[in-house]
Structure 1
Amino acid sequence: MPTDLLVRYEAASPTISLFITGYHVIRAGRVPAGGHGDWLLPGNPYIRVTLDGGGSRIITRRNHYREMPRATVAGASSFATKLSIDAGASVGIGISPIGWSRLFDVAAEDVADRVVPLGALLGAAHSDRLVALLDSVDLSHPIAPMLDAFFEGAIGPANRDEGLLRDLVGVVIDERVGDIETARSVLRLEPARLRRLSRRHFGFSPKLLLRRSRFLRSLLSVLDDEKKPGYAGISEQYTDVSHFIRDSHAFLGMTPHQFAMLRKPVFTAGLSERSKVLGAAAQGLHAIDPLPAKPVTSLLTGARSY
């Protein structure tokens, strides 16, 4: 990582971690012409607030965002995000699907693969207050306590389907659940209701979410080539390497090797730091409640489901 670039993660408190997956600070000093080029993996939504003149240009699957307000929401993503980071700082706030249901009235699928002003979703008063709070702090000190308090005041009442959403988070990231039929059986939901919940609160169909998780686990294993060189660590749910490569083109727009060769200092620094602080190297694999082993194992071996 360049010496003039800082990436730091902080965990949300237990009282808010069901809704907020964590916080990160990016501070860039001297930057090359055009800014630090970098990438984000497909994953869950996040709030971003720019500070000290820091800005960025973002390319998603749908749009190229050049001029944005200081506080934005990047929706759930099904494709890698390319960004260019200017000198200055920014704070990122990860949002779980349950957090989305508590913070915003709009369906997650309506903001998927898009970036929108935070004020349009949370309200101008909350957005302005968040910016003012972050403007007032020294980013060299922990920011989690202040942000925890802010979101404790912004979180709305529980969704009636919150228990199902917690279970769906567990299903989506559990490597034992490799197909939509198993997911339906574990959740004991009719297909139409499962699709509706998934699109409303996660942004995409359950089938795409399962594919995304499988790909992220496999890609991270490939990138960690000191432990598992080549493609030895990809998911056993892939029929072969070419199947994994096809998913790589679908989610990254390139092969895993091409992605690995890109210059991406924030991404590279964040892999180990996020895993160490928040428990998962990718936001799209962030756990809330692990699924119990016995019911899922029984389903995968053909036993009667619970």
Structure 2
Amino acid sequence: MRPVDAAPSIATVPSKPTAPSSATGRPTEREPAGGGKQVRAAAKERRRFERREIRRFTRRSRHRRWGWLTAIAIVVVMAALLAVAVYSPVLALRTIRVDGAKSVDAKAVTKAIDGQLGTPLALLDYGAITTELNSFPLIRSFATEIVPPSTLVVHIVERSPVGVVVTSAGFATVDPAGVVLSTSAKRPDGTALIELGSAGTDSVAFEAVVDVMLALPASIRSRVDIAQAGSKDDVRLILKGTGAQIVWGSAERSALKARVLTELMAAQGKNARVEYDVSAPMSPVVRPR
């Protein structure tokens, strides 16, 4: 009798417990307690960090943008101020003041340029002002100054007479540049007569006389009656009253000659009728007349 095989035994494996299913029937994982808050806090911190990094990397461009905006604002403000200065009637010319006028008629100068009254200071026509003032022969130079809100000051430097020359129109008073300041039928008092022979005020002889006259001390220049120059190397002076003469020679070393002449005249006395020869200033000569 064959032995009967026993029925094989089937081993059962305990099944893995399944997680509770969701409404869809799919299993879900349970979140640990408090996990949602940590995730949200981490995300918030992450966003904060990103914003800080963005600000840090864009700081230079933001500063550059603010710099441009500031520069544009300054330009706009300056343009507005310039427009006010140019076109505002508040800064229009209302007063003209003339300084330094002695021989020149200040009222005549004011009248010559009063066509500028009412014009904004920034729009004054300085070309027209120059043209008007150049018509005054006694004005050697001038400068203008604006004094806000509405004043123009004209500073005048007058021409100074150096002597008188004889012309076909009479006695012409001239300045060192040979500009005729005035003309009269009678020789003006207190001004030296310049004798140049056939030469004129545009000659080297006239330049030599001018150099000598300007080199003289005021105390001696006021006593010169006649200044003669046949050439640039032969300047002679005749003093008022005594008729004393001064042989000057050329205009070279005029400053030294003026010092030597001053000492000679002090030694001889004011009323000496002599001839002072300072043409060689290191060897001056005094001759009786």
Q: TM-score range by the shorter chain?
A: under 0.3
The higher relative CO (CA closer than 8 Å, separation ≥ 6) is in 1
Structure with more helix by fraction: 1
TM-score scaled to structure 2, two decimals?
0.25
Counting strand residues as a fraction of each chain, which structure ranks higher? 2
